[in-house]
Amino acid sequence: MIRLLVADDQRLAREGLRQMLSHEPDIAFLGAARDGAELVDMARGQRPDVILTDIRMPGMDG
């Protein structure tokens, strides 16, 4: 099982990725962050295998 976190400042992108990837049996969608700072906090607590992030976000980028 691949543990995945997503980060994107656009809600539609976060939700779209969650919906697409939630149907994959080998992917555990751990959550979605709105910016890089939130992503760092989530990653420290959840220890994902893969992080899919937007390269340009307000505050801390991906």
Task: List, in order of start, the domains of the chain with CATH numbers.
Answer: 2-53 (3.40.50.2300)
Per-residue model confidence (pLDDT) at position 1:
95
Query: pLDDT at position 58, please?
Result: 81
Q: Closest Cα to residue 52, out of 2, 5, 1?
A: 5
Residue 41: what residue type?
Answer: D
pTM, entire model? 0.85
Each residue of 7-16: b (16+ CB within 10 Å) or e?
A: bbbeeeebee
pLDDT digits (tens, 9 = 90+) for 4-32: 999 999 999 999 999 999 899 999 999 99
Query: In the chain, where do the E strands start and end?
Result: 2-7, 27-33, 50-53
